[in-house]
Amino acid sequence: MASKNGTVGLGELRTKIDAVDTKLIRLLSERFRLTEQVGLYKKKNQLPAYDRIREIQIAERRKRMCESEGFDPETGKAVFQRILQLVRKRHREIRDS
């Protein structure tokens, strides 16, 4: 609810952040389920866990997406670098199992 001066209150902002966090968790969960399938595919087909060309392509795409959404591309890059580190780690675990 807006305060007397028309600004949104801290509680409302936090509620909105919590809702976004819920969506992020659901999307990340879906993403990691899909990348698990990719890891299994790579193992079955003896492909490397790391695909440099693919990662360069998606990095460029994500940078453009960040720019079009008004989101700092460097922050987006850092977030996705961490996600990709976790995915590559899991792919190596799958490969070595």
By three-state DSSP, how is residue 17 classified? helix
Q: In the structure, what pLDDT confidence band is assigned to residue 7 with cuts at 50, 70 and 90?
A: confident
14: which 2 tokens? 């936090």
pLDDT in tens, 14-58: 999 999 999 999 999 999 999 999 999 999 999 988 889 998 999
**Segment holding 80, helix H or strand E:** helix 73-96
Residue 59 within a domain: yes
Express each pLDDT in 67-96 by its tens digit: 999 999 999 999 999 999 999 999 999 999
Residue 2 lies in a domain: no
Range of the domain at 85: 10-96
The residue whose two tokens read 């190596």 is 92
Confidence (pLDDT) at 76: 97
* C-beta separation of 42 from 88 below 8 A: no
pLDDT score for 3 = 61
The pTM is what? 0.81
> Is 77 domain-assigned?
yes
Output the domain CATH number for residue 16. Answer: 1.20.59.10
Q: Which residue has the higher pLDDT, 48 or 63?
A: 63
| Sequence-separated (6 or more) residues with CB below 8 Å from residue 77 | 59, 62, 63, 66
The structural domain count of the chain equals 1
Q: Closest Cα to residue 87, out of 53, 55, 64?
A: 55
Classify residue 1: in a domain, yes or no.
Answer: no
The 8-class DSSP code of residue 45 comes to T
Instruction: Supply the pLDDT for residue 4.
Output: 66
